[in-house]
Chain A
Amino acid sequence: MIASIQTKNQSITRTLQDFFADLLKTGAVDAVLVPSRISESLYVKPCLITSADQMDPTVPLGPGFFVNAGPMVSRLTRTKAGATIGVWLRPCEVRAFVELTKLRQGGREEVVILSMDCPMALSRKDYEDWAAQGDEGLGDVDTWIHTVYQKPVTQVDAWPVARACQVCESPYPVNADVSVMLYGADLDKEIPVRADTEKGEKLLAALDLTDGGQEPEPRNALLANLTADRTAAFQALDEEMRVRTGSIDALNRFFSACVNCHNCRSVCPACYCKECVFNTDAVAYAPTQYLSWADKWGQVPMPNDTVFFHLTRLAHIGCTCVGCGQCTLACPSQIPVADLFISVTRNVRNAFDYVPGRDDAEPLPLSVFQESEFTDIVGMGNKEVT
C-alpha cells in the first residue's frame, strides 16, 4: 500500500514532525525515536519522545548523523517493554538493527520501523561549517533536502557528503515496516509513503492514510543511476585501500595516528560485545614483554595493539558492518577508518554472498558450521594427502 502525505507549508521537516505527532496522538505508537537537536545546539541525536508537543527540535532529515540509532533500538527492545515504539531510521540504521536482532540483541516485535530514502551525511567539520551558514544555529535543511533527492549528488553547495555515503549502494529502505520515498518526489506537494509489512499498513491505517499514493515516477531510474555512480565510487575506494593498506607496513602507516581511544568501537553499531576483549587482561602484557618486543623490533609504539585492535574489529564485524561511516566521523585523529572497513567488509560479504540487513532469516555466515568450506584457505577438509 502506498499513501500520500500532503506537504505542509512547503516544509518537509514540519510535515514529518506532524506525522510523528499524529502517530503519538492517534495512539498508533506509544513513543517515537527521531533525531532531535540537543539544547538547541547544532548536534542531533536520536531521541525517544512520547509527547506529541515535543516535535519542534526534531530534525527528521538532514546531514547530521553522529549516532547510528541501530544499537539504540536494540537497547529499547532487548526485553519486552509493553509499548510500541515508532523508530525513524536511516537505511544503514535499519541494517544495523536487523543484524543486532540476528545476534539476539533486540527484537522487532514492539517496534515499527519507519525508514526513508537516505539524505546522506556530512563529516563533522563540514557539518559544523554547514550549520554555521543557517539561522538558529542549524544549516538550511530545506535546501539540503531539495538538493539530495532530485538527482545523484556527491556534494551540496560547497560541502561534499561523507565518503561512506558516497560509496553506499543501498541508500533506500530495506526491511522496514514503512518506507518514505523521497527520491524524485514532488516534495513541495507530497511525500509518498509505502507500507511494506502488515504492521506498516496498520500504522498508516491508524492515521487514516489510504492507498491513494504512488511511487514517484523518476525514483527507480534515479536510484539506478545513483547506485551505478556509487558502485564506481566504491571500486575507486577499494583500489585506493589496496594501495594504502596492502601490506603490514602500509597498514601501520594508515593507522599511524591512532591513539587507541576506541571511539570507533564505541560508535560502531556492529560492535555488540558486553565487554571488548581489548578491555580485558588478554592484552595486559607484562613489562618484560614490552622490552622483549623492543629488543626484537627496535621499537614498540605505546600504546601498542592499535592496528591489532582494528584487525580484530575487522575480523569480528567482517560480515555485519553496515557501512554507516560513524567510525570515521568519530575518529579524533582524522583517520578514514570507514574507508578501510567498507572496502574490506564488502569483499568479505561477497565471498559469503551475504548482505547485512537484507533478510532477518539469513544466518550470519561465520556462525554457521560447515565442515568443508573454503578448503583452499583453511587447508582442512581436503581429502588430498600431500
Chain B
Amino acid sequence: MTDQIGRTLVIGGGISGIRASLDLAQSGFQVLLLEQSDRVGGLLSQLDTQFPTSTCGMCRMLPMMDRDHGDPQCLRRGLAHDNIEICVSTDLISLTGEPGNFTVSFIDQTDGGRQECPVLVVDDEKIVRDSMKEWLMEEGYPVQTAASAAKALELLETGDFKAMLTDIKMPGMDGVTLLTRAREIQPDLAVVMMTAYAAVDTAVEAMKQGALDYLVKPFDPDAVLLMVDRIYKDAVAKNARTDTVDAVILATGATFFHPDQGINAYGYGRIPGVVTNLEFERMLSHAGPGGMDLTHPVTGRPVTRIAWFQCVGSRDIQTGTPFCSSTCCMIAVKQSLLAKTMYPQVTEACVFYMDLRTWGKASDAYARQAETAGVRFVRARVHSLAPGSKETDGAIPVVWMDPSGERNQSLFDLVVLAPGQHPDAFLTGFVKDQELAADDWGFVRPEPFLPAHTSRPGIFACGSATGPKDIHDSVTGATAAALSAMQVMAGAGRHLVQNSEPAESPDQQAAGISLFPGALVIGGGIAGMTAALAIADQGFEVDLVEKTDQLGGNLVWLQNGIQGADDFLEQQMAAVQAHDRIRVHTRTCVAETTGRPGRWVTRLTPVADAGKITDAQILEQESGPSPEDRSARQSAGVPVRHGVVVLAVGGAEAGSDTDGLDQKSGIYTQQQFQLLLDGNDIDSGSPLQVALFQCHGSREPGREYCSRVCCPRSLDQALRLKTLNPDTRVVIFYRDMMTPGLTEADYTEARKKGVVFVPYEPGNAPNLAADDTGCQVTWTDPILGRAMEMDADYVVLAKGIRSSLSKDLARMFGADVDGSGFFDQADIKWRPVEAMDPRVLACGICLEPGSLALTLASARAAAAKAVSLLGRQTFFPGQDTARVRSAFCSLCQICIDACPFNARFIDPETRTLKVDPLACQGCGICAAACPSGAAVVAGRSLAPMMKTIHAALNTPL
C-alpha cells in the first residue's frame, strides 16, 4: 500500500474543484474528479464576465508550470490534465474509509444512472403529484404519477419501477393496502409512505410490513430527493465502479434559491420581465440565447430601464435564510456597470440594496466605477411587484420608500432578482452520510483554525459547500484544501507521478531552470508561521524572518478576542520553534537579494530598533548580548538560498499611529477598544453609552477599500457590551454593514439584542465633539429626519487595515504593491496568492485585508503553491513559452527591457540569452521587439504574419 501514487478524490467540478484538482495535479498527485452534471466549470461556465476586469479570466488559473501536461484551453468548455481523471455525469454512490484509505464507489449516469430508477408517485392530491414529479424529474429521475391505488397497481403491472412514494389516506384503497399488493407484484420495490403528521403511527406500522421509510407532509423537497437518492444508490450499487483514494475534497458548491418558491412577492415566472441575475447574465453573454441583444424576453423590445433587486432568498427570515450569499452585490454592480456601458440604450440602471457588500480590496473601487458610469444605487427593499399595465406600456412599476418614508415609483422593463445561495440536496445528503459537522443552515462547518478541514479526518471542503463564497475566496480555499490533501498523502507515504520518459526535448532541457530547494518566509505572524510550518512539514527547508523580537504578529493582541486563538497561537509558536527544518530569525530583516528568481541568494540583516524594545532588554543589551541578539547576529551576512519566497509581513490598524486620538475623552480605535474589552477594563456597572463608528477613513479616497474585518469585530464588541450590561446603549454608525456569508447571523443577533444601527453617507458622517469629560456624538437620524445626540462614554473608530508591505521589499523579488499598498496579485480572482512570477507568494493581511480564517486559508494556499514548486525543482519551458534562436541574437537585450515579466536574462556562463520558463507567459512582446527574429514564441511563426501583411497591403510590394 505504501508504494502507491497519491490519489485524491475531488467531488464537484466547479471552480473550487478545478482549482483543487489542478493544484494536486501540478504537484504530481493523481486526482479523481467527480461531477454530477454533464460538464465541469460549475456556475462559472454560465458567466461571461467577472469583476474587476469585466472579462472572463478563468483560464488564468491554468498551470503556469509544466503547462504542456495540461491542455491550455477555455475552462468554460472543459479541462484536461494528464494527472486528472474527470468523470462527469457521475453520481457518488458511497464513500467509506479513513485518511490514506478511502473506498469510493460511483456510477456514470449514462450507464445505469438515474434513468434506471423510475419512480411512481401515488397521491390523490394533484398538487402533491405535480410538485413531486417536477422535483424528481429535475434531478433526472423518470417519474409517473397515479391518482389512486388502483391506477398505481395498473401501472405496476405494466412498468418496472424501483421506487414508489405513496400517500396513506386515499379514497378507495389506502396506502398500506397498496403497499402489500404492490410488493406482491414487484417484491423488490422500495416503498416510501407519505403521511400527515397525525398519521405517523400508521406509517411506522407500514414499515413493519415492508415499507422502506416514510415522509411527513408538508415535504421539504431535499428530504424527498435524499430518500429517492438512497433508493437509487442501493439499486445501482452493484453496477458502480469502486476505487481507492487517500483523501477527499468536497467542492460541491451551492444551489440557488428558486424565487418562485414561497410567497414569490416579486412574481418570478408570473410577471413578464422579472428574471434572475443568472438569466440576465445570459442575456449579456456573447454566447447567450439573444446574441447580446438586450431585448425584453417576452415582448422582444429593446430594454432601456433595468432594476436589480438584492437579497432574494438571502438575509431573509421568511425564507429561512438568515445569512448573506456574499456574491450577489458584486454581481449586481458588475451587471449594472456592463449594461450601462455596453448598451447606450440603457437609460436607467438602478440597484435596490440593503447594504452594498463591496468587501475585499478591489470591490469598492469597482462600485464607484459603476456609480460614475451612471448606475443608481438605492438603499431600499421593495415590498412586492405587480405586473405592468396598458398605462405603463407593459413596464413594471416599482414602488419603494426612501428612509424618510417618502413613496417613490419608477417604471422598469426588467427586474433582475439576486437569488441567494443555499446548500443543495447532494451536500445535505453527504453531510448526513459522512456525519460531518454542519452549521444551522446545512453548510459544512470547518474545524477551528483549519479552514479546509471538516470534522472527518481526510475529508476536506472548499468553496460554497462551507458557506456562500465568491471566486476569490473559493480559489484560495481550494488551494488550501489541496494542501490538506497533500499532507494526508505525504503522511501515508504516497509518491508523485513519475514520468518515465521526459517529454522535454534536449533543447528544452538545456533551457530548464532549477530552483534552490528552500523557502524564505518573511514575516513571523500567524500567516508566516502557518506557511512556514506547512512547507517544512512537506520536507523543505524554511527560513522564517521576523523583524520584531517575537513571533505571532497581530494575533498576539487579538488572541483573546477570538475563541481558542490563544491556545492555537501558543501551539503554532511552539511548533515553529521546535521544527528542525525551520530556522527562525527574529529581529532580522531582508537586506538584499541577488541571483535569478528561483535561485535567490538573500542576505539577512539584524534590525537595529526591533519593534518595542523594553527597558529590561536595554539593560540586557548593556550587560551583554541577549539570545535574540546573538541569533540576529548569526543570521546577518549568512545568505539564504531559496527557490520561493512567501511575503507575510502583515499589516496594522490603519491610521492609529498617526491620529492624535484623545483617550481621555473616550475615543479609541477598534484595536485599542478591543484591548480594553479583553483586559476587562470597562466598568459597565451602570449602563454605558457607546458609539461604534464604522469606515472611519476607509472606503474613501486614500483608502479606497473595505477591510472586511471591522464590521464583524464591531458586532462582536457590541454583543460583548450588551452581555456586560444589557442596558448599555450601543449605536453603530455604518455605511454598509459588511457581514457577508454566515457572519450575517451576528448582525441579526445584535439587532435582536437592541444594538442600534444608524446608516450614514460619506460627507454626512456623525459629528464628534470631544473634551476632557467625554465625547458628544451628534447626527441626523435618517428616518426621523431629526438631529440626535449622545454623550458617549466610548467612541470606537473602526479604521480598517493597512498593509505593511513596502514597495522595496516587493520589488526586491520582482513583485509589486497595488494602489492600496497590498501585494499586487497576478490576478485578484484566479491567482490570488501569487505574483506574476509564481515563485513569489504572499499571504495574510499584506496580501489583502481579512479575517483570521482568510489569513489561514491564504497562508495554506501559499504553502501549497510553494510545496508544489519545490517538489518539482526543475522546470522546462512549455510549448507556448518564448525561445531564443541564438544564431540570430545580437544580444542587444531589447527583449529583456521589453519583457514585462522579467523572464529573459543573459546566462553569464554561455553569454547567450535565456528564457525563464516559470516567468514567461508566452505573450510574444519579445518577438515583437526583436528586429532580427531571434526571439520567437513556439507555434507562432513569422510566416502567417507575413501573409497577413501581404493581404492587408493587397498589392505587390
Chain A: minimal CB distance from B247 (Å) = 41
Q: Is B898 a contact partner of A367 (Cβ separation < 8 A)?
A: yes
Q: Is A308 a contact partner of B54 (Cβ separation < 8 A)?
A: no
The CB with the most chain A CB atoms within 10 A, among B342, B893, B957, is that of B957
Give the 4 A-B residue pairs with the shortest CB-CB distance, closest first.
A273-B932, A307-B957, A103-B892, A367-B897
Range of interface residues on B (Cβ < 8 Å): 20 to 34
Q: Is B898 a contact partner of A272 (Cβ separation < 8 A)?
A: no
Contact string against A for B residues 917-957, beta-carbon threshold 8 Å, 1 for contact and 0 otherwise: 00000000100010111100000001100100110011111
Partner of A366, one of B338, B891, B929, B932: B929
Inter-chain contacts of B931 with A (CB < 8 A): 273, 277, 316
Partner of B892, one of A104, A252, A307: A104
Q: Is B897 a contact partner of A385 (Cβ separation < 8 A)?
A: no
Q: Is A104 a contact partner of B946 (Cβ separation < 8 A)?
A: no
With contacts A277-B932, A308-B949, A369-B925 known, is A363 near B890, CB below 8 A? no
Q: Is B341 a contact partner of A384 (Cβ separation < 8 A)?
A: yes
Contact string against B for A residues 334-364, beta-carbon threshold 8 Å, 1 for contact and 0 otherwise: 0000000000000000000000000000011
Inter-chain contacts of A104 with B (CB < 8 A): 891-893
Inter-chain contacts of A299 with B (CB < 8 A): 956
Inter-chain contacts of A211 with B (CB < 8 A): none
A367 to B932, CA, bound (A): 14
A248 to B891, CA, bound (A): 34
Contact string against A for B residues 887-915, beta-carbon threshold 8 Å, 1 for contact and 0 otherwise: 11111111101111000000000000000
Q: Is B943 a contact partner of A282 (Cβ separation < 8 A)?
A: yes
> How many cross-chain pairs have Cβ atoms below 8 Å apart between A and B?
84
Inter-chain contacts of A248 with B (CB < 8 A): 953, 955, 957
Q: Is A385 a contact partner of B949 (Cβ separation < 8 A)?
A: no
Closest to B928 in A: A366
Range of interface residues on A (Cβ < 8 Å): 35 or more
Q: Is A304 a contact partner of B929 (Cβ separation < 8 A)?
A: no
Partner of A276, one of B891, B932, B957: B932
Partner of B933, one of A277, A297, A364: A277
Partner of A252, one of B897, B934, B946, B957: B957
The contact sample of 11 A-B pairs, CB cut-off 8 A, is A104-B892, A104-B893, A249-B955, A273-B932, A274-B887, A275-B932, A305-B957, A308-B953, A308-B957, A385-B54, A385-B338
Inter-chain contacts of A275 with B (CB < 8 A): 887-888, 932
Chain B: minimal CB distance from A196 (Å) = 26
Inter-chain contacts of A364 with B (CB < 8 A): 894, 897
A300 to B889, CA, bound (A): 32
Partner of B957, one of A103, A306, A316, A363: A306
Closest to B923 in A: A369
The CB with the most chain A CB atoms within 10 A, among B54, B892, B900, B929, is that of B892
A103 to B897, CA, bound (A): 10
A39 at the interface (CB under 8 A from B): no
Q: Is A368 a contact partner of B932 (Cβ separation < 8 A)?
A: no
A104 to B950, CA, bound (A): 33
Partner of B889, one of A252, A274, A368, A385: A274
Contact string against B for A residues 88-115, beta-carbon threshold 8 Å, 1 for contact and 0 otherwise: 0000000000000001110000000000
Chain A: minimal CB distance from B492 (Å) = 46
Q: Is B897 a contact partner of A368 (Cβ separation < 8 A)?
A: yes
Inter-chain contacts of B953 with A (CB < 8 A): 248, 308
Chain A: minimal CB distance from B533 (Å) = 38
A293 at the interface (CB under 8 A from B): yes
A301 at the interface (CB under 8 A from B): yes
Chain B: minimal CB distance from A340 (Å) = 14
Identify which of residues 235-254 in chain A touch chain B, using a CB-to-CB cut-off of 8 Å.
248-249, 252
A283 to B900, CA, bound (A): 30
A297 to B955, CA, bound (A): 6
Contact string against A for B residues 574-600, beta-carbon threshold 8 Å, 1 for contact and 0 otherwise: 000000000000000000000000000
Partner of B956, one of A272, A280, A300, A368: A300
Chain B: minimal CB distance from A271 (Å) = 8
Q: Is A304 a contact partner of B956 (Cβ separation < 8 A)?
A: yes
Chain A: minimal CB distance from B935 (Å) = 11
A272 to B898, CA, bound (A): 18
Q: Is B956 a contact partner of A282 (Cβ separation < 8 A)?
A: no
A290 to B600, CA, bound (A): 53
Q: Is B933 a contact partner of A282 (Cβ separation < 8 A)?
A: yes
Q: Is A274 a contact partner of B888 (Cβ separation < 8 A)?
A: yes
Inter-chain contacts of B933 with A (CB < 8 A): 277, 280, 282
Closest to B897 in A: A367
Chain A: minimal CB distance from B919 (Å) = 14
Closest to B949 in A: A308
Q: Is A282 a contact partner of B946 (Cβ separation < 8 A)?
A: yes
A380 at the interface (CB under 8 A from B): no
Inter-chain contacts of B897 with A (CB < 8 A): 363-364, 367-369
Contact string against B for A residues 269-299, beta-carbon threshold 8 Å, 1 for contact and 0 otherwise: 0001111110010110000000001000101
Inter-chain contacts of A385 with B (CB < 8 A): 54, 338, 341-342
A293 to B54, CA, bound (A): 43
Q: Is A293 a contact partner of B956 (Cβ separation < 8 A)?
A: yes
Inter-chain contacts of B888 with A (CB < 8 A): 273-275, 280
A261 at the interface (CB under 8 A from B): no
Inter-chain contacts of A311 with B (CB < 8 A): 957
Inter-chain contacts of B887 with A (CB < 8 A): 274-275
Identify which of residues 147-174 in chain A touch chain B, using a CB-to-CB cut-off of 8 Å.
none
Q: Known pairs A103-B894, A367-B897, A367-B898; list 11 more (Cβ under 8 Å).
A: A105-B892, A248-B953, A273-B888, A273-B931, A274-B889, A297-B954, A297-B956, A308-B957, A367-B895, A368-B897, A369-B897
Q: Is A277 a contact partner of B942 (Cβ separation < 8 A)?
A: yes
Inter-chain contacts of B895 with A (CB < 8 A): 367
Q: Is B894 a contact partner of A273 (Cβ separation < 8 A)?
A: no
Inter-chain contacts of B950 with A (CB < 8 A): 293, 308
Closest to A384 in B: B341
Inter-chain contacts of B946 with A (CB < 8 A): 282-283
Chain B: minimal CB distance from A293 (Å) = 6
A274 to B341, CA, bound (A): 49
Q: Is A304 a contact partner of B894 (Cβ separation < 8 A)?
A: no
Chain A: minimal CB distance from B946 (Å) = 6
The CB with the most chain B CB atoms within 10 A, among A105, A273, A301, A306, is that of A273
A155 to B929, CA, bound (A): 41
Chain B: minimal CB distance from A119 (Å) = 31
Chain B: minimal CB distance from A100 (Å) = 9
Closest to B891 in A: A104
Chain B: minimal CB distance from A360 (Å) = 14
Inter-chain contacts of A384 with B (CB < 8 A): 341
Inter-chain contacts of B900 with A (CB < 8 A): 369, 371
Identify which of residues 63-86 in chain B touch chain A, using a CB-to-CB cut-off of 8 Å.
none
Inter-chain contacts of B934 with A (CB < 8 A): 274
Inter-chain contacts of A367 with B (CB < 8 A): 894-895, 897-898, 929
A300 to B898, CA, bound (A): 37
A371 to B893, CA, bound (A): 20
Partner of A103, one of B54, B890, B898, B949: B890
Closest to A310 in B: B957
Closest to B899 in A: A369
A311 to B925, CA, bound (A): 20
With contacts A369-B899, A385-B341 known, is A274 near B932, CB below 8 A? yes
Inter-chain contacts of B925 with A (CB < 8 A): 369
Closest to A271 in B: B931
Inter-chain contacts of A249 with B (CB < 8 A): 955
Inter-chain contacts of B956 with A (CB < 8 A): 293, 297, 299-301, 304
Closest to A369 in B: B900
Q: Is A273 a contact partner of B942 (Cβ separation < 8 A)?
A: no
Closest to A300 in B: B956
A367 to B895, CA, bound (A): 7
Chain A: minimal CB distance from B295 (Å) = 18
A363 to B892, CA, bound (A): 13
Inter-chain contacts of B342 with A (CB < 8 A): 385
A311 to B954, CA, bound (A): 15
Chain B: minimal CB distance from A274 (Å) = 5
A364 to B934, CA, bound (A): 19
A103 to B892, CA, bound (A): 5
